Amino acid sequence: MKKQLIALTLCVLMLAGFSACAPKAPEPVAQQPSELSVSAAASLKETLTELQTLYNAKKPNVTLNFNFAASGDLQTQIENGAPVDVFISASTKQTDKLKDGGLLLDGSTKNLLVNKVVLVVPADAETVTFDDVATGKVKQIAIGEPSSVPAGQYAKEIFESLGTYAAIEKKAVFCKDVTQVLTYTEQGEVDAGVVYLTDAKKSAKVKVAADAPEGSHKKVIYPVTIIKASKNVEGAQDFVAFLSTPEAKTVFEKYGFTMAE
């Protein structure tokens, strides 16, 4: 009996020794807090604000700092060295210029969304067409500044295709971004405005008077890209990938966008 107790004690001691020597499971690596600076077209403000909540549910350690403005202004900021990680433009024109300047991460640019251009009027106003804008039916129209606001460039293309831009220019109120166009139209400060369908859908104070005539302007593509000078390329790539998930697609479509092919 004594021998059995001694043997049992030795076994226990040996097992304890093996346990002490056995390698411990690695401690889980805590995700370090990080920040991403995202410059995006003004027409994306509500959409990306909602997507921010969804993204942070998955990546609570990431702080998303958004800068919403006209795509041309954002392009200029990037060219002047603004600390931006991800850029989402309302036109390929801005990303093409940044690419030509060598400011984009190679292979990071892709078409993300498609939008439509529409003519809106105050909700209680009489409906007009794009052709009507050149007549006395419309005394003032708000459009984005064509040199810096993609929606303004599309508006110019539409009226040029109709042969009426010279007449439109005389009654146009040029705005700093598409949000300002919408605001002026909502408040009745102008008779009509040219905005994206997504802008019209989010406002009960305006109504769509007409869709842009087929073939009257370039297709409205929203590309997304990563800036070469980004200090958080891995984080930027993860966020860009999230924007193409089914979860993000549902939100984009809720606001009237369609995903680019």
Q: Could you read off the pLDDT of 96-142 as tens digits, one per residue?
A: 999 999 999 999 999 999 999 999 999 999 999 999 999 999 999 99
For residue 40, the Cα-to-chain-centroid distance in whole angstroms is 5
- Range list for CATH 3.40.190.10 in the chain: 34-114+220-259, 117-211
Candidates 44, 51, 91; CA nearest to 68 is 44
Helix (H) or strand (E) holding 99: helix 92-100
Distance between CA 234 and CA 135 in Å, rounded?
53
Backbone angles phi, psi at 119, to 5 degrees: -100, 125
Q: Domain 34-114+220-259, what architecture?
A: 3-Layer(aba) Sandwich (3.40)
Q: Which residues of 110-127 are buried (b: 16+ CB within 10 A; e: fewer)?
A: eebbebbbbbbbbeeeee
Whether 213 has a pLDDT exceeding 80, the answer reads yes
pLDDT-derived band at 20, boundaries 50, 70, 90? very low
pLDDT-derived band at 87, boundaries 50, 70, 90? very high
Whether 8 has a pLDDT exceeding 50, the answer reads no
pLDDT-derived band at 33, boundaries 50, 70, 90? confident
Average pLDDT, the chain: 90
Six token digits for residue 155:
């508006």
Q: Which of 8-17, 136-145, 176-185 has the lowest mean pLDDT?
A: 8-17
Residue 32: its pLDDT value, please?
Answer: 72
Six token digits for residue 115:
């939008």
Fold of 117-211: D-Maltodextrin-Binding Protein; domain 2 (3.40.190)
Whether 7 has a pLDDT exceeding 60, the answer reads no
Asked if 129 and 212 count as a contact pair (C-beta separation under 8 A), the reply is no
